[in-house]
Chains A and B, each alone.
Chain A
Amino acid sequence: MTTDTDSLRKRARSSRLGRRLLAERYSSYWLTLAGYLAIALFGGITLLLFYRSLPILSEYPLSSMLTSTNWDPARNNFGFLPAIVGTVYVTALSMVMGVPIALGAAIYIAEYAEGRTKTLVAALIDVLAAIPSVIFGLVALIVVVPFIGSYVAPVFNESTAGVGIFTVSLVMAIVVTPFMTSLSVESLESLPDELRETSLGVGATKFETIRSVLLRAAGPGIFSAILLGFGRVFGATIVPALLIGGQTQIPTSVFSTGQTLPTLIVNDFGELMSLPLTQSALIFVGLMLVVVVWLFNFGAMLVQRRLKRRWQYQ
């Protein structure tokens, strides 16, 4: 009797095991497929954009497009230099304004703030990091634009309506600062307290501890925070499209209007659909954005590996 139920149970169990192993097998097919998705997506994007950029690349030499200042797709003039210069200006200015503030705020949250203040400030910054950039652009239209036009530009003897490269840089700095802050806080907070104690224990001040020990130990993490911030400014589309003024010339000052690579796409989007060469040129802009992000990520990885080795503490 008992052996009977035993063998029954054994049989039930083994057929169940078969089903479970089948589920295991099929799930692993699916998961393997998913595992390669990122690579496929990356390859697909790069290849398709490259393929569709070929018409413009075969029509005009790359060097002349990158150095020509004349952008006039309707007349088949494809000079990317103004947009490139605009992008470089915006990215550089934003990072110059944003990085010190982000670092300061991160250090404050990780090393100075305590208790409820800390929780509150950290939560507010996380919220700020999540607000869509189009909302920053919208608010900037009625706050930053008049402010720059009426107060900041006159100080530098510039006359402007308020839109332009400087405005975009300022707003983009505001957009990415909380983002960089919250990532930097994470890497500062992951440092062991022993590091702080060791440094303070040899008589260093808090400032010296932060500067010579903590910022280095958290260096790789902070570095990637800044890099992600850089990527967001570099590829920013909506804020520049709203605030840069859209003039395709080499900017004469930081207050002048201009163009970035992404705004080029937005502004000429209508033609993108109709004229094959313009279409190809704008897709090429997309390709340039990808390639630059790609190169920066690889460069960053190398730098990061070095930083990690040089500033490792364990």
Chain B
Amino acid sequence: MTEIPLTTDQLSVTYTGDREIEAVKGVSIDFPANTLTTIIGPSGCGKSTLLKSLNRLHDIQENVEIDGDVLLSGDSVYNTNVPAPEIRRQIGYVPQTPTALPVSIYENVAYGLRIHGDYESKADLDEKVETYLRKVNLWDEVADRLDAPGAELSTGQIQRLCVARSLAVEPDVLLCDEVTSALDPVSAESVEKTLRKLKSEYTIILVTHSMAQARRLADEVVFLYLGEVIESNDVQSFFEDPQEERTKTFIGGTTPVDRDDTPAEQTATPPAPDGSKGSTAGDDKQ
């Protein structure tokens, strides 16, 4: 029997801004250990919202209401005395846009270790930084310039840096939000390679709207449509033998995909003026 580190129990997320939108509607899923589960579905179907609700990232936003619960190894994530930062340490999150923190490459990886005090000495810290940079296949590319600003790396490298940074705090579960959608195909490939390598040791939940990517990476697939789970199954059965009509049409590519914004983006603060949010078209789906 596989261990189930993360479970959602009738989880609902409602945006209560100008108009009320229930973005996630009573979702109950199990995420098995040391497995990569992808959540797929068209843009705007609540994937990112669901993902962020798993580690209480919505706490930092206004006008979001959560019902139901998330269970981490059986313990409630929402009805608990455990402070949110500790929960987020256990359930890591890699955002969609590759984001280097405004410090050096080294300090990017060390950041989480430093705030949690998870190292004994400078040598220990050095060692850990190297370990995690190796885990994401980045060490060889940056070993000679660890003091350079993280922002000077290429976007693909930055995204791997983000994964390393998240792994460094030793989370039980890693949430990845469309981590390749802002990347060019070559960089996306390098990140996918990293994820494939990591998935046997970590519980990873990856949101994507690319079926091709789900097929390439996933062990388990959850199909989310308009905030509801339509179907979830292991990758083979999901694609070879879909049970639901809507899954078949989605796999067949006839669902009206890609409404421009997800509700999450509408209620969030206005996007940065460089407009990077609007164009996430660098994806490998065709």
Contact = CB atoms under 8 A, between A and B. Distances in A.
Check A-B contact in the complex, CB < 8 A: yes
A21 interface: yes
Interface in B55-91: 83, 85-86
B117 interface: yes
B273 A17 contact: no
Contacts of A190: 273
B118 A17 contact: no
B273 A20 contact: no
A188 to B, nearest CB: 14
Nearest to A9: B118
Nearest to B83: A21
A20 B118 contact: no
Interface string B114-141: 0111100000000000000000000000
Interface in A1-58: 9, 12-13, 16-17, 20-21
Contacts of B116: 13, 16-17
A13 B83 CA distance: 13
A12 B118 CA distance: 9
A196 B273 CA distance: 18
Nearest to B273: A190
Interface string B264-281: 000000000100000000
A21 B83 CA distance: 8
A13 B273 contact: no
B205 to A, nearest CB: 24
A106 B68 CA distance: 55
Nearest to A13: B116
Contacts of A12: 117
A13 B115 contact: no
Contacts of A20: 85, 115
Interface string A209-227: 0000000000000000000
A16 B273 contact: no
Interface of A: 9, 12-13, 16-17, 20-21, 190
Q: What 5 A-B pairs come out closest when comparing CB atoms?
A: A16-B117, A21-B83, A17-B86, A13-B116, A13-B117
Given A13-B116, A20-B115, 10 more contacts: A9-B118, A12-B117, A13-B117, A16-B117, A17-B83, A17-B85, A17-B86, A17-B116, A20-B85, A21-B83
Interface of B: 83, 85-86, 115-118, 273
14 contacts: A9-B118, A12-B117, A13-B116, A13-B117, A13-B118, A16-B116, A16-B117, A17-B83, A17-B85, A17-B86, A17-B116, A20-B85, A20-B115, A21-B83
